[in-house]
């Protein structure tokens, strides 16, 4: 009985692994195929003839260095702003006693239920009225603070003993000193988790940068990649190579922060 349960568990894990890793492996291997081989019926898993022309064509047709720099600038600003502003809001909601605290947190929860696409037009009108369209500021402005980030930080900070904060106040420490020197060092796991989630959302974001960026000089990686295809022609090998270029930094970041990510998700979810 025990062996059968173990076998069933491993079978389920294998199926789950195939479902998760299968599309990535197909994309990776497809980036080394010709368009004719990708469209072949029945399809082939391994390339019949390995080619690197898709990657060389990608770097020829797209200013990879420029769009990568744009994506890095946007992602770094959005991540840094989220870690700071979401933490400040969460600190106020958990460690400061003020009227309307529950109401403010209710607004945060309400905002989490609103689809982001619903806010696309109001956000663009705001950015355009501020003359921030086609600028870094316009791209990053809606993502400087997120309801999910506030919720995660609030859940984690809520478990930090209030006595620790009160003792620091008795010793004469101000709120900012308590925040930066006592509370923030205790929040490393959830900060790593929030940073990774925010980075992934910003790095892979397409709709908002495509709306705000009106010239190719401001394109991010996903927007530049989408511009390579047209209604008449779709180069599948080129697009698959571009997808690998886009997702590689995210994978490397996730691997390096995996331990903190799992710990942060577990603690933020349970508390």
At 24-44, the pLDDT tens digits run: 899 999 999 988 898 888 888
Whole-number Å distance between alpha carbons of 130 and 17 = 47
Whole-number Å distance between alpha carbons of 30 and 36 = 11
Please count the structural domains in the chain: 1
Is residue 33 domain-resident? no
Is residue 203 domain-resident? yes
Whole-number Å distance between alpha carbons of 257 and 108 = 27
Is residue 262 domain-resident? yes
CA nearest to 222, candidates 130, 124, 119, 139: 139
Whole-number Å distance between alpha carbons of 253 and 97 = 37
Structural domain boundaries enclosing 228? 47-270
User: What is the CATH classification number for the domain harbouring 190?
Assistant: 1.10.3720.10
Output the six-digit token pair for 204.
């892979």
pLDDT digits (tens, 9 = 90+) for 162-217: 999 999 999 888 999 999 999 999 998 899 889 989 999 999 999 999 999 988 89
Q: At a CB cut-off of 8 Å and minimum separation 6, what does 1 contact?
A: none
Q: What are phi and psi of 23, to 5 degrees?
A: -60, -35
Contact 87, 184 (CB under 8 A): yes
pTM of the model: 0.86
pLDDT digits (tens, 9 = 90+) for 8-25: 888 888 898 888 888 889
């Amino acid at each position: 009985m025990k062996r059968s349960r173990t076998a069933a568990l491993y079978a389920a894990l294998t199926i789950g692994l195939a479902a998760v890793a299968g599309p990535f492996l197909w994309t990776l291997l497809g980036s080394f195929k010709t368009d004719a081989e990708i469209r072949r019926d029945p399809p082939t898993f391994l390339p019949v003839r390995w080619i690197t022309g898709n990657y060389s064509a990608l770097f020829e047709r797209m200013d990879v260095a420029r769009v990568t720099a744009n994506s890095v600038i946007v992602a770094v600003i959005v991540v840094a702003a989220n870690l700071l502003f979401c933490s400040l809001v969460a600190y106020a909601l958990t460690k400061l006693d003020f009227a309307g605290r529950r109401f403010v947190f209710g607004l945060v929860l309400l905002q989490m239920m609103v689809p982001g696409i619903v806010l696309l037009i109001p956000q663009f009108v705001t950015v355009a009225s501020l003359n921030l369209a086609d600028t870094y500021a316009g791209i990053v402005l809606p993502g400087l603070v997120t309801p999910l980030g506030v919720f995660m930080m609030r859940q984690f900070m809520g478990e930090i003993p209030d006595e620790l904060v009160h003792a620091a106040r008795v010793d004469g420490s101000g709120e900012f000193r308590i925040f930066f020197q006592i509370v923030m060092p205790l929040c490393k796991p959830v900060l790593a988790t929030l940073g990774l989630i925010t980075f992934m959302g910003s790095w892979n974001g397409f709709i908002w940068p495509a709306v705000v960026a009106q010239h190719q000089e401001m394109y991010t990686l996903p927007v530049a990649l989408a511009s390579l295809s047209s209604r008449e022609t779709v180069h599948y090998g080129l697009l698959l190579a571009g997808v690998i270029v886009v997702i590689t930094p995210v994978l490397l970041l996730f691997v390096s922060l995996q331990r903190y990510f799992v710990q942060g998700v577990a603690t933020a979810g349970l508390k």
